[in-house]
């Protein structure tokens, strides 16, 4: 779904949120906003990876106006504190978090198989970081920029950029229990 089409669809949700917001408590407003708009943003978030900033900016405008509507803030209020108070990640952080949580699931459960086949572990080296999970970067035979946006390329790149403490094998944790969200949410 192109971001232009997404922006047009979400504007309707934004206006509905503004009109019904006075009748809702903050928790219910946040729940409605999350279920209507964030579910649609998360639907194709891996396709948004490495999207040009101009395209991501359109999605950020939607999320920011929705956040203002949820808390009832004026139109030109700075949104970073609002997003933090709602515990929402910025669009780029959401994309990275979703890809990393899916990668975590793939590494620990091998499901879904069609995505698990796209990633491979790099053979361990005999170094002090040999217990760290490192994914092999696929070779790029294409000069197209869209290749870097695929899950096959984005997942290893993002996983290997994490701190070593987040790349330890942790089979007993599930993504909501992992500190990954906190790391992304509070990183500068």
- Per-residue pLDDT band for 1 (boundaries 50, 70, 90) equals very low
| Phi, psi (degrees; rounded to nearest 5) at 178 | -75, 155
Q: 9's torsion region: left (phi>0), alpha (psi -120 to 50) or beta?
A: alpha
Predicted local distance difference test score (pLDDT) of residue 9: 57
Q: What is the pLDDT of residues 100-149, one digit of tens each?
A: 888 888 887 877 888 878 887 877 665 555 677 788 788 766 666 666 77
Winning range, highest mean pLDDT, from 23-32, 121-130, 178-187 = 23-32
Query: CA-CA distance, 176 to 8, in Å (whole number)?
Result: 31
Instruction: Say how far apart CA 73 and CA 141 lie, in whole Å.
Output: 48
Task: Write down the pLDDT at residue 47.
Answer: 77
Taking only the tens place, the pLDDT of each residue in 41-100 is: 777 777 788 888 888 898 898 888 888 888 888 888 999 999 998 888 898 888 888 888
SS3 (DSSP) at 130: coil
Please report the DSSP string for 142-173 in residue order. ---GGGGGSHHHHHHHHHHHS-GGGSS--TT-
Is cis: bond before 112, omega within 30 of 0?
yes
Instruction: Report the alpha-carbon distance of residue 147 to residue 136 in Å, rounded.
Output: 16
Distances (CA, A) of 127 to 130, 150, 170: 5, 30, 20
Query: How many other CB atoms are there within 10 angstroms of residue 60's CB atom?
Result: 16
> Is the pLDDT score of 177 beyond 70?
no
């Amino acid at each position: 779904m192109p971001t232009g089409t997404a922006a047009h669809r979400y504007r309707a949700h934004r206006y509905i949120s503004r009109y019904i917001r006075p009748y809702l408590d903050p928790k219910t407003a946040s729940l409605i906003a999350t279920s209507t708009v964030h579910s649609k943003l998360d639907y194709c978030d891996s396709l948004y990876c490495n999207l040009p900033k101009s395209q991501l900016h359109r999605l950020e405008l939607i999320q920011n106006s929705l956040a203002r509507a949820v808390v009832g803030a004026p139109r030109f209020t700075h949104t970073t504190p609002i997003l933090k108070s709602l515990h929402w990640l910025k669009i780029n952080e959401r994309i990275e978090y979703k890809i990393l949580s899916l990668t975590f699931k793939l590494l620990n459960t091998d499901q879904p198989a069609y995505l698990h086949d796209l990633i491979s572990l790099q053979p361990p080296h005999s170094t002090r970081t040999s217990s760290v999970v490192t994914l092999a970067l696929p070779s790029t035979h294409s000069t197209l920029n869209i290749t870097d946006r695929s899950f096959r390329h984005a997942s290893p790149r993002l996983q290997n950029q994490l701190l070593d403490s987040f790349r330890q094998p942790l089979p007993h944790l599930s993504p909501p229990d992992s500190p990954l969200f906190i790391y992304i949410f509070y990183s500068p």
